[in-house]
Each structure stands twice: as C-alpha cells, then as structure tokens.
Structure 1
Amino acid sequence: MALLPDSIKETVGISRNVREFNPDPMRAVWMSALFPGLGQVYNRRYWKLPLVAAGFMGLGYGASWNNSMLKDYTRAYGDIMDNDPNTKSYMDFFPATVKEEDLDKTWLTNILKSRKDFYRRNRDLCIISMVGVYLLAIVDAYVDASLAHFDISPDLSMEVAPAVIPDTRTRPGLGLQWALRF
C-alpha cells in the first residue's frame, strides 16, 4: 500500500488515516487477570497464548497426577498404621505373589510415609507454579503493552578509538576509548 501514489490511493478509496494500535497497559493487566493469556491476545502477541496454555495444562496435569498418587499413599499409610486386619490397601502396590507376612512393616511404613510426603510436596509445588505462571502472564501483558511502541533503532554504532589517558603523577598512558551511539 505504501508503494501506491496518493492519486491512486484516493481513487481506489484507501484512507491515509489508518489508526495505529496502541494497547493500554492496565487493560492488558485486567484482561490477563480475568483469563490468563487474554492479555497476550489483547496485545496481539498471539504466539504467547500457547505458551501460557501449555504452562497451565502441564502444571494442572502434574498437580492432578501427584494428588491421585498422594491419595493412594495416604490411604495405604493410614491402613498400615491402624490395627484393623481388614484394611490392606498397601498390598495393592505389590504383585499378587508377595505375601504380607514376608514384608518388613517398619520398612514399609517408612516408605509409604516418605512417598506420601513426596507427592504432597510435588502437588503443592505444581499449584505454586501455576500461581507463578498466572502472575508471569499478567506481568508479561503489562510490559508488552507498555513497550509496544518502544523504538528499537537499527542505527546502533560502536566507535573504538585510541585515547591518551592523562596522569598527573607520571607521563600519560595510552588506551582504547569505546563509545556506543544509539
């Protein structure tokens, strides 16, 4: 469109008053807080939406899986700690050929407790990480909207030149002077 002369643009009806998109940072924050990833869509950074969604889906799956394992080990630990001979859910972790009399109860109790604590910790870390991804999406939406029109000039130059370094005590020294221009 920029290659067409103004007379052809006016004949065809192409307007020169094209409004440039200027995202509002606070609106991006509220949209991202409403639904994670919506702030990235508002900022027209569509490629970030799958990253936010994958983060939530992966961490959600991890929290769900660790929670189901936590339930299994909590039930097994509770069954081995009570004195009821009818509750033996801890035997579900072993093949059918293993007999309960062959197991060391102290060892099994310690293993069940450590695994229960392990899966609780992992579930909690997944939930905390989901909060982190949520906050990261909000911050990213704000920064992206704030820097939408930040000018990154391709005219960056670096100048290196010899320099004389004055020294009042002895004779002057020689060195390099380095300057960045942007």
Structure 2
Amino acid sequence: MRHLRISVFIILFLATGFCSFAQVEFEADTIPVQQPEKEHSPRKATIYSAVLPGLGQIYNKKYWKVPLIYGGFIGFGYAINWNNNYYVLYKQAYSDIVDDDPNTNSFKDLAIEGSWDWDNSSQVSQFTTRLNNAKNSARRYRDLMIIASAAFYALNIIDATVDAHFFNFDIGDDLTFNWTPGPMYCSGKALPGINIQIRF
C-alpha cells in the first residue's frame, strides 16, 4: 500500500511538473505582436478634398463639417445663378434700348407703367444709364460670388490638410506656462526683458 501511495505521488508530481513546463513553453510562444499604428496622411486628405469637397473631412473623421461645406456651395451657387439671371435680363434690356429697332423693347417690361415717357429723350437717356448701372452691378456681384466660391473651395482643401496634420496631435493635461526674467538682445546690446515658454 505504501508503494502504491509513493507511485501515485511520483506520477502526480511528474504530471504536474510536465504540465507546468508545457504551460511555460506555451506562454513563451505566444508573445503578442503590436500592429504598427496606421499613419494619417495629410497628403491623402488634401487630394480627397481637391477631388471631391468634403471627402477630406470624412477621411479626417470630421463628419459634421460636410453639411457646412455643401451648404456653402449651395448658397454660392444660388447667389451666382440669381445675379447671372439679372445680368442677362439687364443686358438684353440695355441692348434693346440702345439699338435703333423699335420692335425690340424688352426694357419697357422693367419700367413701372406710366412712370417713363418714351418720347422724352432725357428720360430715355436717364433710364438707359440706370439699366447700364444695373447690368454692371449684376455682373460684378456674379463675378464676386464666383471668386468667393473658388476661395471657399480652397478653404475646404486647407481645412482638410490642417486637420490631417493635427489628427494624431496629443492633447494631454501636461500643459506648462513658464515665464522668467531674461535678457533681450537688440543691436548687439542686452536689455532686460521677460522670457516666456509654453510647452504642450
């Protein structure tokens, strides 16, 4: 009986020892490998926003900016179309009033009925000047809206690029602001001043 207990003890000891050895070997073989962090590319954000406005903002995960971008483009498109329609209208009326053809009189549709005497040359001249000014103003505002929409397009690209540069920027609690007295150099002379350092 005593031999049986010793045999069982030795068997259990060896089995436990081998199990622990196998466990150590298993853990040594499964060292976790860290995946390299995917780099956020400002170049990609710039290209995406240049190809399709708002796509760079989606790449930067700033989804809330996309409706603002397309709302801006819709607003600029409406303003361009509105001013262009008036420009075409005033241009046609102006060309009708300055030509010698009595059948072309679209300018009369723009005048309040009874307020202008078309046989009075001074009133016709005054109305012609007003039409010319209105035509030039509509063209100027249309061109300004085109320039503004091009600037808005460039701003969309700049915004995506800057956001991409700051995508992995560490915003931690370790912000320090130190100021100490220190010399300032002007024309080779040391003057008293304050040295300010901001670390973030």
Using the size of structure 1 for normalisation, the TM-score is 0.74
Question: Is 1:141 aligned to 2:160, yes or no?
Answer: yes
Distance 1:164 1:70, change over 3 A: closer
* Alignment match, 1:58: 75
Q: CA RMSD in A?
A: 2.8
- Number of equivalent positions: 159
* Alignment match, 1:171: none
| Structure 2 contact 40–168 (Cα < 8 Å) conserved | no
- The percent identity for this pair of structures is 40
CA distance in 2, matches of 1:86, 1:107: 21
Question: Is 1:86 aligned to 2:103, yes or no?
Answer: yes
CA distance in 1, matches of 2:166, 2:108: 59
Unmatched 5+ stretches in structure 2: 1-33, 184-191
Show CA shifts across 1:21-75 (max 9, x none): 6432121112111111111111110111111111111110000000000000000
Question: Is 1:132 aligned to 2:151, yes or no?
Answer: yes
Distance 1:54 1:164, change over 3 A: closer
2:50 maps to which of 33, 36, 49: 33
Which residues in structure 2 correspond to 1:57-136 (within 5 Å)? 57-99=74-116, 100-101=118-119, 104-136=123-155
Using the size of structure 2 for normalisation, the TM-score is 0.68
CA distance in 1, matches of 2:91, 2:195: 68
CA distance in 2, matches of 1:175, 1:26: 42
Which residues in structure 2 correspond to 1:148-163 (within 5 Å)? 148-159=167-178
| Structure 1 contact 79–87 (Cα < 8 Å) conserved | yes
| Structure 1 contact 22–148 (Cα < 8 Å) conserved | no
**SS of alignment partner, residue 131 of structure 1:** helix
* Alignment match, 1:168: none
Residue 133 (structure 1) shift: 1.1
Whichever of the two has the greater Rg, that structure is 2
CA distance in 2, matches of 1:110, 1:93: 14
Show CA shifts across 1:123-152 (max 9, x none): 111111111111111111111112101122
Structure number with higher relative contact order (C-alpha < 8 Å, ≥ 6 residues apart): 1
Unmatched 5+ stretches in structure 1: 1-16, 166-173
